Structure 1
Amino acid sequence: MACFVVVPTRRISQRHSCQWVLQRRRNRQLFNYVVRKPSTCASLELIKICGITCKEDASMVCKAIEERKHRVPYDSIRFLLGVIFCPQSKRNVDEKVARQIVETVEYFGNAQVVGVFVHQDASNIIHICQQTGISIAQLHGDVPRQSLSMLPHWIESIPVLSVYSDGSLDSDLEQIQLGSWILFDSPGGGTGKTFAWSNFKPPPQFRWILAGGIRIDNIQSALNKLRPPGVDVSSGVCQSDGIRKSAQLVSTFLDLCSTTVV
């Protein structure tokens, strides 16, 4: 029998503010909820689908997660949906759309929304998070990373470091606090380009997320070669327009992530 999920039509803007979302998270640490069962997927702990541009795509991704969430290894994997705040990106969203995406994801309750900030200072990051209900910030560029110490405790941060095509880092890891999650991406971010995985040496002291040109035809190779704790896909699961997400590609990607790595 088919099962239909109805997303509430009440708009988040009808509430007094986004504090209803933020208050639920103030005492909740990112990726540090309860002790989770070990995953059979090469210790894969996190899957991020980035570049969500509308509530319809958010709903589609959350439904795909829901179909799998109660099966091994998905029951031990945390899911993130990324929304981009960068006018230069074709997958950029405004605050209104971001609020709709947050509300949709909160309804399903099986993922979290990450705000992707490029060259924005702490005040802008805080403002957008307050207006949208987002409490996780992915920080691209020197200015956002320098804002780490100025962000309030309720905003969890994921600093981004670029990796050159030869697999070498372009930044010093000393500025990143131990215990933080960090994301490694090709320069510029959102380019759909990979770097030399065979030359890349992930730092053992960090929990890290692999990004940059991840697709359904290379995700298993990435898992085998690098065994990353987290993976991030964006253009690799888009439709031909490079903006809207493909339900088929999202489902295929999630299924490939569940394959046990040998």
Structure 2
Amino acid sequence: MAHTRIKICGITRPDDAAAAAEAGADAIGLVFYPPSPRAVDIDTARAVVAALPPFVTATGLFLDADRERIESVLASVPLGLLQFHGHEDAVFCRLFARPYIKAVGMADGADPADLARAWPDAAGLLADSHRPGEAGGTGKTFAWDRLAGNRDYRLILAGGLDPDNVCSAVRAVRPDAVDASSGVEQSPGRKDAARIQRFIEEVRRGDRNET
């Protein structure tokens, strides 16, 4: 049986990180992009990471941040994975001695297979519904069937996933991982533990190919 990995992104509270881990999430996301309603400062990020048990990966999300800013965060917050949402090329993404994932926007009919070749060493390509260079987290979906079929890159499916649609998305696309933010929230940045639990249960139902 497939085992789709799960990241809960846009965490702003230690209790939400603990709830995601308890429910079975493999990773959580911390947003270091100040315009986002889910942005965190260094002290909050450290508290969130401290709430995680072993083997749950803390991911830092950046959008066109300069090298000094990213290195400053890494010096203070023990992140295991980086996520780039802007115009960062592969040369920039590999500067930080961390595995990284690259978010790509599907809003303009982009071909993820072509995009994957631009970041050949990425740990995964995160396909979201935003336009290129935007932060994501919009809660909007896109035509997931564009991603179905064989592929030679690791796919992380995002974009409007919630407990009501993620089972269908997993069955249709068979991604390597899924990423949810607004779909498991009470309000921007405040997660709902019950929605997280149900989201993860629905991913597992999709893994089992149940209807």
Normalising by structure 1, we get a TM-score of 0.71
Shift of 1:123: 2.8
* Distance (whole Å) between structure 2 residues aligned to residue 214 and residue 124 of structure 1: 30
- Tell me what 1:261 maps to: 209
C-alpha spacing 1:171/1:204, structure 2 compared with 1 (3 Å)? closer
Bigger radius of gyration among the two: 1
Between the aligned partners of 2:122 and 2:84, the Cα distance in structure 1 is 16
Matched, 1:243 2:200: no
Aligned residues of 1:164 and 1:170 also touching (Cα < 8 A):
no
Which consecutive unaligned segments of at least 5 residues does structure 2 have?
A: none
How many residue pairs get aligned? The number is: 204
Moved more, 123-132 or 210-219: 123-132
Note if 1:119 corresponds to 2:64: yes
Residue aligning to 1:180: 123
1:21 corresponds to: none
Distance 1:79 1:195 in 2: 24
Q: Is the 8 A contact 1:178 1:206 kept in 2?
A: no
Q: How far apart are the structure 2 equivalents of 1:119 and 1:167?
A: 20
| 3-state SS of 1:127 partner | helix
Letter aligned with residue 181 of structure 2: S
RMSD: 2.2
Mapped partners of 1:145, 1:125: distance in 2 = 15
Aligned partners of 1:129 and 1:135 also within 8 Å = no
> Which of 179, 191, 194 in structure 2 is aligned with 1:232?
179
Any idea what SS the aligned residue of 1:143 has?
coil
Paired letter, 1:59? A
Label 1:165 to 1:251 Cα distance change in 2 as closer, same or farther (>3 A). farther
CA shift in 2, pair 1:164/1:203, >3 Å: farther
Distance 1:128 1:254, change over 3 A: same
Secondary structure of the residue aligned to 2:152 is coil
Say if 1:170 and 1:242 are closer, same or farther in 2 by CA, change over 3 A.
Answer: farther
Q: Which runs of 5+ in 1 are unaligned?
A: 1-39, 66-77
Percent identity reads 31
Separation in 1 of the partners of 2:7 and 2:101? 12
Please report how far the alpha carbon of residue 257 of structure 1 lies from its aligned counterpart in structure 2 after TM superposition.
Answer: 1.3
For the 8 Å contact 2:58–2:79, the answer to whether it is kept is: yes
Decide whether the 8 Å contact of 1:114 with 1:134 is kept in 2. Answer: yes
1:140 pairs with 2:85: yes
State the shift of 1:172 in Å.
3.2
**Residue 158 (str. 1) matches residue 101 (str. 2):** yes
| Structure 1 SS opposite 2:23 | helix
The residue number in structure 2 matching 1:56 is 15
Corresponding residue number in structure 2 for 1:33: none
User: In the alignment, which residue of structure 2 is the partner of 1:191?
Assistant: 138
